[in-house]
């Protein structure tokens, strides 16, 4: 019952997180599009009012005419909408989900003694160290290279590559990908919390005081929001990648992550230019070519080749059961001994009948993807994986 309530809580949290992500990224995509699509007004009245760009749009049966002021309007409107809760609630729900799924199950989902042996509390400490280090390094990059677009892009690329390399050499691949994603997502929310919103508050305070508005706040906010735009697709990829073990299980998973994120940036760049009516196919094409490279690079070896490696007769299910008993049943049992939860995904492998029923999944998880046994906590050998491959191939009529 306790476990059931726990699962409900995580389900609701994940639902909430996706909703807040849509609200935040949706608003962010809209404003980036709006900003890049604005046209200089021709109406002298608008120019007189200080309007620097405007646009006409039709949506949901109505006509809209947003106008952007050069620095700020002459007088503050009584009703001014702010956008920050979308970002904060995304970070808070994401963090809660990460704690519930990973930090509270660090032994099962984060630590792999073959990568780096550490205690659960060390794993938790390292996670927060990653987030804080990300903030510090990013802040330094913005201060030292902020004025130069190319330098800051290269510095951010190096930072993400190092973070990915480090995370993948400390944590299980799945947790490592999420930690890199969480690090970037934390920067994005920090940009809103520490720069964009306080800058806007200062602008409004000086308007209320009747002082001249310093344009530096708008410029700083803009720099941070441009960074956020480029982080968006990489972060979404990192967050979703943990459902696809072919991504995080490769021996050079850190590079897989960096390359996939790069594709995200290239594709985003195409859309940013397109908003400004500049079509440059080089960007999305190089993004796709890059992904194709990853596709072929990490493709699994053909199972036939693995099974045919030895030419004796295929083993029986009873022979396989010996392997399953020692390597899998610690978790995949009615009462698992290796974890504090019911059999994962309801997969129980205690009898030959159950093993036969799950043959296909066993083959995929153990031979093709090599994700089971989880983090290879039970030390399955390559010979045993080959044995399972051969058993699976031999079962086919």
Q: Which spans of this chain sit near ligand HEC (rule: CB under 6 A)?
A: 108, 324, 327-328, 330-332, 338-339, 344-345, 347, 358, 361-362, 365-366, 372-374, 377-378, 380
Closer CB to ligand HEC, residue 174 or residue 268?
174
Nearest distance from residue 243's CB to ligand HEC, in Å? 8
**Angle at CA 36, nearest 5°, toward 33 and 38?**
105
Closer CB to ligand HEC, residue 192 or residue 328?
328
Closer CB to ligand HEC, residue 32 or residue 97?
97
Nearest distance from residue 366's CB to ligand HEC, in Å? 5
Q: Torsion-angle region of residue 370: left (phi > 0), alpha (psi -120 to 50) or beta?
A: left
Nearest distance from residue 309's CB to ligand HEC, in Å? 19
Residue 331 burial (10 A CB sphere; 0-12, 13-18, 19+): buried
The Cα–Cα gap between 25 and 234 comes to 13
Closer CB to ligand HEC, residue 248 or residue 270?
248
The Cα–Cα gap between 67 and 53 comes to 6
Six-digit token pair at 248? 């995080």
Nearest distance from residue 355's CB to ligand HEC, in Å? 8
State how far the alpha carbon of 223 is from the alpha carbons of 127, 185, 216, 283, in Å. 27, 16, 11, 22
Six-digit token pair at 192? 């809103």
Nearest distance from residue 168's CB to ligand HEC, in Å? 18
Closer CB to ligand HEC, residue 286 or residue 376?
376
Which residue do the tokens 């159950």 mark? 354
């Amino acid at each position: 019952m306790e476990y059931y309530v726990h699962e409900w809580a995580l389900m609701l949290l994940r639902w909430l997180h996706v909703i807040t992500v849509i609200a935040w990224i949706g608003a962010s995509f809209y404003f980036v599009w709006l900003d890049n699509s604005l046209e200089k007004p021709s109406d002298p009245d608008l120019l007189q009012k200080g309007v620097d760009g405007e646009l006409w749009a039709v949506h949901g049966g109505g006509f809209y005419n947003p106008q952007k002021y050069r620095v700020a309007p002459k007088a503050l409107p009584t009703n001014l909408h702010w956008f920050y809760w979308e970002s904060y609630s995304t970070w808070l729900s994401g963090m809660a989900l990460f704690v519930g799924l990973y930090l509270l199950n660090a032994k099962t989902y984060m630590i792999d003694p073959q990568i780096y042996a550490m205690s659960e509390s060390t794993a938790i400490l390292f996670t927060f160290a990653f987030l804080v280090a990300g903030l510090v390094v990013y802040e330094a990059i913005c201060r030292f290279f902020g004025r130069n677009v190319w330098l800051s892009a290269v510095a951010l690329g190096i930072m993400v590559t190092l973070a990915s390399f480090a995370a993948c050499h400390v944590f299980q691949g799945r947790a490592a990908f999420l930690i890199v994603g969480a690090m970037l997502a934390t920067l994005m929310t920090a940009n809103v919390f520490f720069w964009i919103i306080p800058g806007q508050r200062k602008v409004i305070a000086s308007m209320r005081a009747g002082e001249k508005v310093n344009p530096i706040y708008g410029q700083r906010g803009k720099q941070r929001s441009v960074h956020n735009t480029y982080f968006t697709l990489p972060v979404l990829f990192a967050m979703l990648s943990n459902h696809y073990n072919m991504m995080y299980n490769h021996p050079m998973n850190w590079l897989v992550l960096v390359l996939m994120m790069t594709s995200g940036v290239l594709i985003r760049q195409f859309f940013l230019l397109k908003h400004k009516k500049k079509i440059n196919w080089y960007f999305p094409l190089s993004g796709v070519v890059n992904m194709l490279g990853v596709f072929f690079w990490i493709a699994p070896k053909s199972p036939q080749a693995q099974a045919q490696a030895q030419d004796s007769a295929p083993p029986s299910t009873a022979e396989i059961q010996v392997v399953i008993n020692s390597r899998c049943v610690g978790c995949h049992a009615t009462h698992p001994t290796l974890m504090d939860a019911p059999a994962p995904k309801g997969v129980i492998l205690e009898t030959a009948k159950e093993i036969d029923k799950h043959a296909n999944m066993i083959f995929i998880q153990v031979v093709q993807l090599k994700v089971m046994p989880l983090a290879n906590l039970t030390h399955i050998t390559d010979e045993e994986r080959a044995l399972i491959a051969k058993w699976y191939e031999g079962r086919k009529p």
